[in-house]
Chain A
């Protein structure tokens, strides 16, 4: 399990408007592209230098492809990153203020303290 890599996905997609749109429109395509291009990128280094060992588990990949923010929470992804990216993708469909944010919280009602550990 790689909480770090899940967070790296959420972080790199959230900060790029084009990737946010691609993740909303076709998550399977975007996740596959990301694993092939960014998962091993060292973010502050020139591209010839990269890691060689980063890999999502099947469970993590499925959670990302299914836009399953509850599963991401259960896996220990950083809740701020998940929330920020999902608001970027789905708040636009609101019919009233905070509708998506409230529904997002309601979908997580099954989680009680202690929440999954987010330490990386």
Chain B
């Protein structure tokens, strides 16, 4: 059976690429510290020596649109083009091409459907920065095949937070049951408190530092009980109008497992939003 060699949860800040590659007067003052933290985070994946990456993210109205909106979707394709014109325009993100791992996509779809998750699928998916940001931060060579899994945290009505956790738990079991010798890392990205297009956007910190502090504690300690007790679709409006992206962190807590303490925890307080980086090693820390 396949082995899950790392579980990783992260924010996906689209400005990292530009900040980390800019020089001279264009380089923001926080760039060097950010690069140091990302470099340490990247090492947590490199050390696990994965063969395949399952990438959990959320399309930002790029390919998935309101005339036909899936709640959970699994990509199954030999390749994925990546990044879109408006991400190039706003964030300076490069166009990318990633390989797919179709056998694992097919396995996740079949087993997910049989486990009670009516997963949508796509055989031609152009992925966006929710998947490419962690490729850029964690595996900039972009050389490993992926299985993209998209969640709807964006276009209400949304699934309940508990459903994200349950899907994460199912993905963990399903990947562990994949008849393969390959080493799989499961990586998912979301947000802590975040406001986009509202009065609290682009402040000196994230819109709700207290929510961020509690959220980091829940994730780092695997405290799913407290997280599920305190988080609802309604409550997530309070920390910021884009905070429903936190449910992708909850999905990853499901993958990591209740009570699983993260082996790597780091944060960076930036303007606009707090960055947060977590790595779990289900089979112990690699030598």
Contacts and interface: CB of A to CB of B under 8 A. Distances in A.
Interface of A: 4, 7-8, 11, 14-15, 17, 42-44, 69, 73, 78-84, 87-88, 91, 97-98, 101-102, 104-106, 108-111, 113-115, 118-120
7 contacts: A11-B61, A11-B65, A43-B67, A79-B196, A97-B28, A105-B200, A115-B241
Interface in B123-174: 154-157
Given A7-B66, A11-B61, A119-B156, A80 B242 contact: yes
Contacts of A15: 84-86
Given A80-B197, A98-B202, A108-B199, 6 more contacts: A11-B65, A73-B198, A78-B155, A79-B242, A101-B202, A114-B237
B201 A88 contact: no
A98 to B, nearest CB: 6
A91 B66 CA distance: 27
A120 B156 CA distance: 7
A103 to B, nearest CB: 10
Given A78-B61, A119-B156, A8 B66 contact: yes
Contacts of B154: 80
Instruction: Give the interface residue-count category, chain B.
Output: 20 to 34
Q: Secondary structure of the A side of the interface?
A: helix
A4 B156 contact: no
B71 to A, nearest CB: 14
A111 B66 contact: no
Given A105-B198, A111-B199, A14 B86 contact: yes
B37 interface: no
A84 B201 CA distance: 13
A4 B66 contact: yes
Contacts of B198: 73, 79, 105, 108, 111, 115
A119 B241 CA distance: 13
Contacts of A113: 237-238
Interface in B85-110: 85-86, 89-90
Interface of B: 28, 60-61, 65-68, 84-86, 89-90, 154-157, 195-203, 237-238, 241-242, 271
A81 B61 contact: yes
A115 B200 CA distance: 12
A105 to B, nearest CB: 4
Nearest to A99: B202
A6 to B, nearest CB: 11
B197 A83 contact: yes
A115 B237 contact: yes
Q: List the 4 shortest-distance A-B pairs measured between CB atoms, nearest first.
A: A79-B197, A83-B197, A108-B199, A119-B156
Contact of A118 (B67, B89, B156, B199): B156
A106 B201 CA distance: 9
Name which of B65, B85, B89, B202 has the most chain A CB atoms within 10 A of its CB. B202
Given A14-B86, A79-B241, A102 B65 contact: no
Contacts of A98: 202, 271
Name which of B86, B156, B199 has the most chain A CB atoms within 10 A of its CB. B199
B209 to A, nearest CB: 17
A10 to B, nearest CB: 9
A56 to B, nearest CB: 16
A27 to B, nearest CB: 18
A44 B199 contact: no
B50 to A, nearest CB: 31
